[in-house]
Amino acid sequence: DAKTTQPNSMESNEEEPVHLPCNHSTISGTDYIHWYRQLPSQGPEYVIHGLTSNVNNRMASLAIAEDRKSSTLILHRATLRDAAVYYCILMYNQGGKLIFGQGTELSVKP
Amino acid sequence: EAQVTQNPRYLITVTGKKLTVTCSQNMNHEYMSWYRQDPGLGLRQIYYSMNVEVTDKGDVPEGYKVSRKEKRNFPLILESPSPNQTSLYFCASALAPNDVYEQYFGPGTRLTVT
């Protein structure tokens, strides 16, 4: 099964961009890359997903390396509310099985 | 309001006493899934269901059973709970098997097995 590797923790200042990296060197051609986040005492929340091309939505951007062995979640302007654990997840084939990475705990300083 | 509900939210039980954690969604989603979350291990998928009467194992299915008799409900059954099943459990749903990128998670059930 393809696995992901993320830094355990990162820090950011409020109002600055944040780049959260994820390595997935054993990704297969049909695996989608998903990002979720989990705020304290809550269930995970969908952020963004992609396959090969970079993706943007109202919450974040996802940059995918050309060889697909890594990706980066970009929060354009971090707010205190963005402090959470961010999970980089691979969709294992099309069967719905999600493989979670360890997650990166993002702290945002005022 | 579109939501995933879980019951109970908190449960303390003893080893070997069968229990069921219910999960229900009101969004007519086809896909549902159960996860457990443990410190240092992140979230791990237990079982998932692509549609009614269709279930499959996730990463850690041992000691758990599920059923999907109707679209809105996906109960998690622990036939003989053990202390290593003490965990925080999340249920999730998504629109369709080919559209699982946005999963909606329930509020969680904290289970303690003594």
Confidence of residue A96 (pLDDT cuts 50, 70, 90): low
Mean pLDDT of B42-67: 92
| Spatial separation of the C-alpha atoms in residues B112 and B14, rounded to whole Å | 8
| Torsion angle in degrees (nearest 10) through CA of B68, B8, B88, B34 | 10
φ, ψ of residue A102 to 5 degrees: the values are -75, -20
Which positions in chain B have a beta carbon within 8 angstroms of at least one beta carbon in chain A? 4, 31, 33, 35, 41-45, 48, 50, 56, 58-59, 90, 92, 94, 97-98, 100-108
Q: Quick one: pLDDT at residue A79? A: 96
Chain A residue nearest residue B5, CA to CA: A43
DSSP state at residue B114: -
- pLDDT, tens digit, for every residue of B6-25? 999 999 999 999 999 999 99
Of A44, A46, A96, the CB nearest to B48: A96
Q: Quick one: pLDDT at residue A1? A: 58
Question: Does residue A57 sit at the B interface (CB-CB below 8 Å)?
Answer: no
For residues B108 and B6, the answer to whether their CB atoms sit within 8 Å is: yes
Mean pLDDT of all residues belonging to chain A: 90
Contact flag A103-B42 (C-beta cutoff 8 Å): yes
